[in-house]
Structure 1
Amino acid sequence: MNTPVQITLSLALLLSTTCIASNRSVAAGNPQDPPPNILIITVDNVGYGDLRPFNQASPIHTPNLNLLARQGAVLTDFYTASPTCTASRAALLTGRIPQRNKLSEQLVGLAGNYGVGLPQSEIILPQVVKNSPHGYATAAFGKWNIGFAPGSRPTERGFDEFLGIASGNADHFTHVYAGRKDLYQNTTAINRHGEYSTDLFANAAISFIEEKTGTGQPWMVYLPFDAPHHPGDRNVAPGEPNIWKAPDYAFEPYGVSPEVTDPKRRFNAVVTAIDLAIGRVMKRLDALGIADNTFVFFYSDNGAFYPYLDIQSNAPFSGAGVTLWEGGIRVPAIVRWPGRVAANSRIGTRLWSPDLFVAAASLAAAPLPQDRFIDGRDPLPVLTGETIHSPHASLYFRYQNFAALIWGDYKILREKPSEPWKLFHLREDPSESRDLAEMRPDLVKKLEEPYRLTEAEIESYLEREKNALP
């Protein structure tokens, strides 16, 4: 006899595939239209308040991201499924929350980054897009950070091409991580000493896009910049300063010398360098005449970290990366798809990073895996204005001792399992400064129940998955 949790899981899987199938028509458009190209850009530890489309008081020069926002839509309520680099990237690439894809912690050290990382049984985004009838080419340029053992590397998991770093935060000019050269072309270590990583990755993306566009082949590019991740002492040679590093041209908009020592100004220049690189990619799409047929999605993998909040900003939110306060998981996101996503618009519907897995499959008209639970839902009806309603009734988060659940305007949060839940009304109090738990114990109980049921469903799912293994 099936248990209630097993029945719930079966229904959830059915609803998941039914929902996805019903939304595929959103991307299809005219049957004669060429399949859209897909460009997913991520940045590393950029806070919600660091970018002017989200915080007009930001001092950082980002003219190209500002333009991208005017050409498309700013997503004010977009969440990453995990507040740390490795787990957030795995959630994007699998469409599954960390508790399901089993990569819930940050990979650290050479052993972690060069280990298996994300289980090789997981199906990742390029593998799905490869099942499209349209013959997509796929590439990744930038930060990998989910495991680089044989069988775990990008070109062994569905990407046709890769240029990037295996780890999470190599030096931007020497590409060294923990005393080891960390830059790879496909699976081969290469030396491009002195070339700024942001430009390396953008240039590689542009070359790939030019080549595939020239042959008429649709493409999907994953462009995960490793900047502006805070500088790491382990990545600089003995005797060198551990500072935010940017190319000389990125300091020019601020009228300061590249030798400036103020860390805030140096950080700003790092972000401006990313902006200029993104601008070059966008201009190339225009020059190639493919901008209107390219779905572009930009977001930050998680919020800025606590030690750097005097340099960066998660405003107006509390908390930071590696926490489940809004500052850790609510991130800046922009989407552009001319003619389908309304220009100069703002979308306040709640979405999250696993949805991009489903969006890419829908855009490519590729079937989703049917043998596993996908936590993402198709965001295209929201992004294209077909509906204002989120495809998610609630969002569940767990990271280390942190736990949270968002349902409607309310969020419960606790920092340790032994602590009582806090309760916040996110619309009225996005900074999470007023705990309503004592005033509204009924609402705490109401949100705690789906959290508890989700935990039970995940445990049942993992048990069934384990029992299904040969």
Structure 2
Amino acid sequence: MKTLAKLTCLAAVLLSLALTTRPENKQPPNILYILADDLGYGDVSAYNPDGQVATPNIDKLAAQGMRFTDAHSPSSVCTPTRYAILTGRYPWRSRLPVGVLRGYSRTLIENDRPTVASYLKQNGYQTGVVGKWHLGLDWVPKKGNEQLLSTANYGIKTEMDTAVIDFLQKPTQGPNTVGFDYSYILPASLDMPPYCYLENQKLTEQPTGYTKGNKLESGYTGPFWREGKMSPSFDFHEVLPTFVQKANAFLKRQTASKPFFLYLPFAAPHTPWVPKKEYSGKSKAGEYGDFVQQVDAAVGEVFRTLEASGLAENTIVIFASDNGPYWRENFVKQFNHKAAGEFRGMKGDAFEGGHRIPFIVRWPGNVKAGSVSAATTTLANLMATCTDILGSTDTKSTPEDSYSILPVLQGKAKQVPNQPAVVHSSSIGFYAIRKGDWKLIEGLGSGGFTEPKEIKPKPGEPVGQLYNLAKDQLETTNLYQQNPEKVKELTDLLTAIKQSKTRLASH
């Protein structure tokens, strides 16, 4: 009997230990996705210690997580990158294969298209977007103009005429119809009218005011914005602080009982460069550098709110930029600041400076602090990464161009598994494809804002550009004619990706 009692006691102890050490079903991680606007690879001091801008808050995220050195935006301008982030599809698959929308453009994301937001919402997440939308809104036409809506792609390649828009009506399509429970947005870039906010797709104030524009002769730099409609109380200097305030309010409403996804696309440091007085002169790169430092402070403020909520430990924080910086060569010389880092070109370009971006992921317990990854990745990979994190096997939630970076984040892979290549598109529609060390650009010139943007080849000259980035990071030596086999390989792969309706596996 004593032996039986001892065994019973031992069994009870072991059962107790098993119960106390059994891992709990941990709630899925929260996701905070901060997207800077036109921030260059070399604007973050963790990437460019010799730069003239200090970014201690972004650097802190890098110290606590993984910093990617070979991350890319799917396009080198705003709208297409945002489309790819939310849908996991390259932007040239959309109804606007080249160019950007404007403030009076209609929504680009197709009806019933799965997005990161709709997927996470279906999986129990509270979803929110605060910031620059730039993916179109289905403004309602005034009575008598309804027939305009029957025109194919109406309001996509050209904006709606403001004279036919009924601003008293709530747009019928926008962030809340593609998966976001809450939205507080600026319609497009901060230099594009209408200058106003919409909360849950409803204007917070009617755009009954008007601005003649500012610094129109500046060449799209400085405190530049276009003329157009605006809400009477709209203040360009207060846009970034307003987004921080609304983002913090969203975070404060969250609890540990339900995971959240907050997409926070800042409208800065895109033009107009309007740093507040307390940031004026704080950098050594003029008003642009000062504005970057205000962006960094905004990142810090939002992160501190997250920490104060007690939810930071189970939150994936992603920081990225939508494309390269608009930073001309004369600014590089004037301020001795390389906003695109050691890369050629700038925003809009097919060159690396147009699309190689800062990309940082912080995820305590899953991503090693202070780690650096050389994995080639693209912002289109968010959707597949989210489905991988949640363990989804639903193929409908895995779009054509999205591949999970989870194995890279967890240190289980050096490169993104199964990703056949990374494709970029420039502002005028040049395609570039990257596989391994090799990069092919279809066309001659920058393909964007750097002159010359397009060069017509002469007889006997190459018709495209081929670079080995391992040996020629600055893209100075065109190897197109010396490596016809590599040109064919990359051209064929690019064609296959363009024509594919499903994901291609790497070879």
| TM range, smaller chain | 0.7 to 0.9
Higher RCO, 1 vs 2 (CA within 8 Å, ≥6 residues apart)? 1
Q: Distance in 2 between the 1:424 and 1:202 partners? A: 41
Superimposed CA distance per residue, residues 23-81 of structure 1 (whole angstroms, 9 cap, x where no aligned partner): xxxxxx95622221001110111111111111111111211011111111110010111
CA RMSD of aligned residues (A): 2.5
**Is 1:455 aligned with 2:498?**
yes
- 1:64-213 equivalent positions in 2, closer than 5 A: 64-112=57-105, 115-132=106-123, 135-149=124-138, 150-170=171-191, 177-178=192-193, 180-191=194-205, 193-194=234-235, 196-213=238-255
Note the alpha carbon deviations across 1:123-173, whole angstroms, 9 max, x for none.
2211111121xx210000000001111343111221111112011224xxx
The residue aligned with 1:322 is 348
Partner of 1:139, secondary structure, is: strand
Instruction: Describe the shift of the 1:455–1:356 C-alpha distance in structure 2 as closer, same or farther (beyond 3 A).
Output: closer
Structure 1 pair 412–427 and aligned structure 2 pair: CA distance change class (3 A):
same
> For the Cα contact (< 8 Å) 2:67–2:371, is it kept in 1?
yes
Distance (Å, rounded) in 2 between the aligned partners of 1:136 and 1:402? 37
TM-score by length of 1: 0.79
- Deviation of the 1:443 alpha carbon: 2.0
**Mean Cα deviation higher: 189-198 or 199-208:** 189-198
* CA separation of 1:127 and 1:109: change in aligned 2, threshold 3 A: closer
For 2:200 and 2:302, locate their aligned partners in 1 and report how far apart those are by CA, in whole Å: 21
**Counterparts of 1:363-442 in structure 2 under 5 Å?**
363-365=389-391, 368=394, 370=396, 373-391=399-417, 392-399=419-426, 400-415=428-443, 420-442=463-485
SS in 1 for 2:252: helix
For the Cα contact (< 8 Å) 1:101–1:122, is it kept in 2? Answer: no
- The one-letter code of the counterpart of 1:185 is E
- How many angstroms does 1:369 deviate by? 5.4
Q: Distance in 1 between matches of 2:23 and 2:344?
A: 44
The residue that corresponds to 1:304 in the other structure is 325
TM-score normalised to the size of structure 2? Answer: 0.74
Q: Is the 8 A contact 1:410 1:426 kept in 2?
A: yes
Between Structure 1 and Structure 2, the one with more helix by share is 1
Q: What percent of counterpart residues are identical?
A: 29
Q: Which residue identity does 2:76 align to in structure 1? A: P
Consecutive unaligned residues of structure 2, counting only runs of 5 or more, are 1-21, 139-170, 206-232, 333-337, 445-455
Is this contact kept in 2: 1:131–1:367, CA < 8 A?
no
Query: Cα deviation per residue 1:86-132 (whole Å; 9 max; x = unaligned)?
Result: 000000000011132334333344432xx132322422211111121
Larger Rg: 2
Separation in 1 of the partners of 2:40 and 2:330? 9
The more displaced of 329-338 and 433-442 is 433-442
Name the SS for the 1:106 alignment partner. coil
**CA displacement at 1:389 relative to structure 2:** 2.5
Q: How far apart are the structure 1 equivalents of 2:440 and 2:378?
A: 17
SS at match of 1:333: strand
Matched, 1:246 2:288: no
SS of the residue corresponding to residue 396 of structure 1 reads strand
Q: In structure 2, how many angstroms separate the alpha carbons of the residues matched to 1:407 and 1:302?
A: 20
Shift of 1:230: 2.1
Instruction: Note the C-alpha offset of 1:449.
Output: 2.1
Which deviations, in whole Å up to 9, do the C-alpha atoms of 1:366-425 show, x marking residues without a partner? 565528743111111111101112221212334444122111111111336976222111
Match of 2:11 in 1: none
Please say if residues 67 and 359 of structure 2, whose CA atoms lie closer than 8 Å, have aligned partners that are also in contact.
Answer: yes
Q: Quick check: 1:117–1:152 contact (8 Å CA) kept in 2?
A: no
User: Which residue pairs with 1:63 in the alignment?
Assistant: 56
Within 1, Cα distance between the matches of 2:391 and 2:498? 32
Is structure 2 residue 362 aligned with structure 1 residue 336? yes
Distance 2:395 2:239 in 1: 34
